[in-house]
């Protein structure tokens, strides 16, 4: 417990366990210093209650004072302040700690007594609640009014699927970079990043127009591998991808096509027609369909009992898929298999899309690759459950997807592998990091399963409501979220932090690059990294 005197802000005057507390401010405490999201401590008789300011209110002891206010007379205003007029704050207590320190922070189960002192939090309070930075605790930012680190528990973070939300321009990509850097540096999980706009692997421009380093530059080629759907685009940027991804038509399943029903404008009978083709031609169904002429289509429809018009329409729509440069009639699975092997050995993969950054290409590729990964992790989990050998335990994997509502909407989440992963949580050691500006478009079932939510400013009431889906006491925090600044501020809540907190997000700059650095490497890893970098400098 801190030995230094702390600023007394006020006293508790009313409240309840479910509705929160109300505190009257001291006359010396400026109401303008009481920001929504501020972290304070209520000094109860037996416990300290760590709390967040959720509202600031102007009050008066006598309504007549408000009916006839002193018009512009500062002297009378000062005379009335603290007696006839005063400020109050509403608090949301989230943790309590016994004064004797016999236990650590625990969920709030009671309330402090009347007139318990409300104190300004100090650095020691933050450290007691959020801990200090170490191998598995990573600084994500600092409180708005203090210069003390707020740390995420990375091991808890990767145990469950998580979300990064915020409207366009609020810095979601940089928040995501921070989380990825933390997991890579700590080694708590392997990462697969579906990099829709080619901004995570190598350097990219920030919103201020200057270049920032990518994961490959920070952690080296031995740790971060870059795959590309569009090798030519990567090379035009002076980047040589480790491998190029090609999707074979025989790798595309009906479920992948169902996911694209909005992008391809498929009619409701499209899936039925596709399954008729699968029954006859197995994994060659798409290639065979696209090669059919008019008469062949009619003949197949008559034999299978399908509708010739529906099958013909399906063919026309799927020709959009076949025209993608990365889709071939047949393609070896060796490249994707090598990607999965690298992930299983703790490497981190950034998959760039280059000029194929349209939603159709992104959704098709991400779904196909993730489906194969999920199958492999299930197999490894089953082996581990059979052998009970720690060496067989699959490595924790976190998959990062942008535009997440495309995969996880109420209509799509039940059909996509991403919806399956979000619901299964850590059962098979695969979780998601979903990045989106419209959380209200994501299935409520998926939102309720998210472990940790890092949310920048949102303006739409539906999006704010969605962020708090499944969060106990979330109603009191909505005003806090809506009051954030447009940049470099976020609310963090959930499994990886002891209590909700509003932060000034950590800067992604030269100081951060030095702090992150490259993780400690064995001699073998250093040799491998050196060889990879030599190969990049002197290609065949």
* pLDDT number for residue 221: 92
- Spatial neighbors of 532 by CB under 8 A, at least 6 apart, are 221, 222
Give the position of tokens 């495309």.
Answer: 406
pLDDT at 73: 63
Q: Given a cut of 50, is residue 524 above it in pLDDT?
A: no
User: In the chain, how many domains are there?
Assistant: 3
Provide the pLDDT confidence category of residue 475 given band limits of 50, 70 and 90: confident
Please give the average per-residue pLDDT across 4-12, as a whole number: 85
Residue 72 has pLDDT above 70, yes or no: no
What tens digit of pLDDT does each residue of 153-180 get? 999 999 999 999 999 888 899 999 999 9
Does 264 lie in the same domain as 225? no
Q: Say yes or no: 316 and 184 in one domain.
A: no
Residue 267 has what pLDDT?
Answer: 87
Confidence of residue 1 (pLDDT cuts 50, 70, 90): very low
Tell me whether residue 391 is in a domain. Answer: yes
Measured distance CA(144)–CA(133) in Å, rounded: 18
Q: Which is higher by pLDDT, 198 or 42?
A: 42
287 in the same domain as 187: no
Classify residue 369: in a domain, yes or no: yes
Residue 105 is predicted with a pLDDT of 86
pLDDT tens-digit readout, 207-227: 666 788 999 999 999 999 999
Given a cut of 70, whether residue 526 has pLDDT beyond it is: no
From 8-17, 257-266, 290-299, 342-351, the region with the lowest mean pLDDT: 257-266
Write out the two tokens for 33.
């210093």
Task: Say which residues have a Cβ less than 8 Å from residue 137's Cβ, sequence separation at least 6.
Answer: 131, 151, 152, 153, 154
Residues contacting residue 510 through CB under 8 Å, at least 6 positions apart: none
Are residues 378 and 236 part of one domain? yes
Same domain, 300 and 336: no
* pLDDT tens digits along 235-248: 888 888 999 999 99
**Beta 190-195 vs 397-402: how paired, if at all?**
parallel
Give the domain range for residue 276: 251-322
DSSP 480-508: HHHT--SSSEEEEEETTSSS-EEEEEPP-
Q: Answer whether residue 478 shows pLDDT above 60.
A: yes
pLDDT of 426 above 60 = yes
Structure confidence by residue, pLDDT tens digits, 509-521? 899 999 987 544 4
Could you report the per-residue pLDDT of 9-41, keeping only the tens digit for each?
999 999 999 889 999 999 888 899 998 889 999
- Mean predicted confidence (pLDDT) in 108-115: 94
Closest to 458 (Cα-Cα) out of 169, 39, 54, 92? 169
Question: Looking at per-residue confidence, does 152 or 4 come out higher?
Answer: 152
pLDDT on residue 76 = 60
CATH code of the domain in which 344 resides: 3.40.50.300
Residue 189: inside a domain: yes
Burial (CB count <10 Å: 0-12, 13-18, 19+), residue 208: exposed
- 310 plus 353 within the same structural domain: no
* Residue 362 pLDDT level (bands cut at 50, 70, 90): very high
Find the mean pLDDT for residues 253-268. 88
Same domain, 206 and 285: no
In a domain, 143, yes or no: no
Residues 256 and 240 in one domain: no
For residue 146, is it within any domain? no
Q: Kindly state whether residue 136 falls inside one of the protein's structural domains.
A: no
Q: Which residues contact 464 (CB under 8 A, 6 or more apart)?
A: 458, 478, 481, 482
The arithmetic mean of pLDDT across residues 466-492, rounded, is 87
Does residue 144 lie within any of the structural domains?
no
In the chain, % of residues over pLDDT 70: 91
């Amino acid at each position: 417990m801190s030995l230094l005197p702390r600023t007394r802000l006020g006293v508790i005057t009313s409240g309840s366990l479910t509705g929160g507390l109300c505190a009257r401010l001291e006359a010396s405490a400026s109401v303008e210093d009481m920001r929504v999201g501020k972290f304070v401590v209520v000094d109860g008789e037996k416990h300290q209650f760590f709390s967040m300011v959720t509202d600031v209110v102007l009050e008066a002891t006598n309504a007549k004072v408000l009916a006839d206010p002193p018009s512009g007379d500062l002297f009378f205003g000062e005379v009335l302040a603290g007696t006839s007029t005063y400020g109050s704050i509403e608090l949301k207590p989230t943790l309590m700690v016994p004064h004797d320190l016999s236990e650590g922070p625990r969920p709030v189960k009671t309330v402090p007594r009347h007139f318990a002192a409300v104190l300004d939090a100090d650095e020691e309070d933050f450290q007691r609640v959020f801990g200090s930075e170490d191998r598995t605790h990573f600084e994500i930012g600092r409180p708005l009014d203090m210069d003390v680190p707020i740390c995420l528990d990375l091991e808890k973070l990767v145990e469950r699927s998580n979300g990064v939300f915020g409207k366009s321009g609020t810095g979601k990509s940089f928040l995501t970079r921070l989380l990825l850097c933390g997991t890579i540096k700590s080694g708590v999980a392997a990462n697969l990043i579906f990099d829709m706009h080619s901004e995570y692997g190598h350097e990219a421009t920030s919103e201020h127009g200057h270049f920032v380093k990518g994961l490959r530059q920070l952690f080296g080629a031995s740790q971060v591998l870059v795959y590309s759907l569009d090798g030519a685009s990567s090379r035009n940027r002076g980047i040589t991808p480790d491998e190029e991804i090609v999707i074979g038509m025989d790798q595309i399943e009906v479920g992948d096509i169902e996911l694209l029903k909005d992008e391809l404008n498929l009619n409701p009978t499209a899936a039925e027609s596709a399954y008729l083709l699968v029954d006859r031609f197995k994994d060659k169904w798409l290639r065979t369909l696209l090669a059919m002429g008019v008469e062949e289509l009619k003949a197949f429809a008559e034999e299978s009992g399908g509708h010739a018009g529906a099958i013909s329409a399906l063919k026309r729509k799927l020709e959009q898929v076949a025209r993608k440069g990365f889709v071939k009639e047949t393609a070896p699975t060796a490249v994707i298999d090598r990607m999965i092997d690298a992930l299983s050995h703790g490497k981190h993969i950034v998959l760039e899309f280059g000029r194929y950054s349209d939603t159709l290409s992104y959704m098709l590729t991400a779904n196909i690759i993730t489906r194969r990964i999920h199958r492999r992790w299930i197999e490894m989990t089953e082996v581990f459950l059979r052998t009970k050998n720690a060496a067989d335990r699959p490595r924790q994997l976190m998959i990062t997807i942008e535009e997440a509502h495309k995969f996880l909407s109420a209509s799509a989440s039940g059909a996509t592998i991403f919806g399956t992963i979000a619901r299964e949580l850590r059962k098979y050691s695969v979780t998601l990091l979903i990045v989106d500006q419209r959380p209200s478009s994501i299935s409520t079932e998926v939102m309720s399963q998210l472990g940790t939510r890092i949310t920048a400013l949102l303006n739409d009431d539906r999006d704010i409501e969605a962020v708090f889906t499944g969060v106990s006491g979330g109603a009191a925090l909505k005003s806090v979220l809506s009051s954030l600044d447009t940049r470099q501020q976020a609310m963090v809540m959930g499994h990886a932090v002891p209590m909700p907190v509003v932060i000034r997000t950590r800067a992604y700059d030269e100081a951060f690059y030095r702090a992150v650095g490259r993780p400690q490497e064995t001699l073998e890893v250093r040799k491998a990294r050196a060889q990879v970098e030599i190969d990049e400098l002197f290609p065949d």
